Structure 1
Amino acid sequence: MKKLLVLCVIGLLPGSPAVAAEGANDFPTLARVEYVLGCARDAKGPELEKLYKCSCVIDAVAQRLTHDEYVEYSTAANAFGIGGERGEMMRAYAGGKEMAGKYRAVQAEARKACLMQ
């Protein structure tokens, strides 16, 4: 009984894996749903398979980036596709290129881990 109590208390200490995982996974449900819907819309294959794979991808991304980083990096990556002056502002910003590159690398790694082509 004492051994079980000690293990439970250790799991609640700051810096323990249970607490660290909770703090590292700060993506709101809405952000996950938006990603999965967009991903599934663009992916090929059976509907349920797309949902599973896209859910896997956003979970893998959430393990590598905080939500704030995800918002910044994905915004930068998406802005490169905008034509005209608004897109040019981001393309001219050197930090935007770096953020977009990091996002694309994390996303590619997550897609590969989740068996998405």
Structure 2
Amino acid sequence: MTQRSTPRHRLPHGQQGRQRGHGLARIALACLAGLSTLSGHAPALANDYPTAERVRYVLDCMRANPGPQFEMLSKCSCALDAVAAEVPHEAYVSMSTAANAISIGGERGSELRDNESIKPQIKRLRELQAKAAQRCFIQPR
């Protein structure tokens, strides 16, 4: 067995973990800063969705895709993050409003359903949602 030539310094009991934790936090912050610089996007782009909108999306997703609560919470949060990475909140609101509006029944709804200008928005939203579901392992019903 070999012995160290330099003395081993010990921190007082309880401070060893704190020192290690600070180092890990610094490394994590440096990695996040580096990733945001490498990607060329500001980190706030995917986070411009208000909290209430995020919660509403995840709850709607969980309602549409029944399963174990914690699992679906994780999968649906992943799906929203995938959508948010693709389009800013303002564009998402426009697309989802168009998609929801075509479900209005009667005459008012028929005007929207027959409107050709909103169909590309609806198609884009459906594509984003399908891509996000596949990426986050949400099984189609």
**1:61 alignment counterpart:** 83
What residue ranges of structure 1 are gaps of 5+ in the alignment?
1-7
TM-align CA RMSD: 2.1
**1:91 alignment counterpart:** 113
Amino acid at match of 1:24: L
Question: For 1:86 and 1:115, how far apart are their aligned partners in 2?
Answer: 37
Higher helix residue share: 1
Deviations 1:42-64 (A, max 9, x none): 21211111111110100100000
Question: For 1:32 and 1:112, how far apart are their aligned partners in 2?
Answer: 19
**1:114 alignment counterpart:** 136
**1:70 alignment counterpart:** 92
Question: For 2:67 and 2:45, how far apart are their aligned partners in 1?
Answer: 31
Q: How far is the alpha carbon of 1:66 from its aligned partner?
A: 0.5
TM-score, normalised with respect to structure 1:
0.80
- The SS at the match of 1:31 is helix
Which of these two proteins has the greater Rg computed from alpha carbons? 2
**2:125 alignment counterpart:** 103
Indicate which of 63, 78, 81 corresponds to 1:41: 63
Q: Report % sequence identity.
A: 43
Question: For 1:92 and 1:115, how far apart are their aligned partners in 2?
Answer: 34
Amino acid at match of 1:46: P
Question: For 1:86 and 1:54, how far apart are their aligned partners in 2?
Answer: 32
What residue ranges of structure 2 are gaps of 5+ in the alignment?
1-29
Q: How far is the alpha carbon of 1:19 from its aligned partner?
A: 6.8
Amino acid at match of 2:75: K
Amino acid at match of 1:98: P
The 5 A counterparts of 1:9-48 are 16-17=37-38, 20-25=41-46, 26-48=48-70
Cα distance, 1:79–1:40 mapped onto 2, change above 3 Å: same
Q: How far is the alpha carbon of 1:115 from its aligned partner?
A: 0.3
Question: For 1:89 and 1:34, how far apart are their aligned partners in 2?
Answer: 27
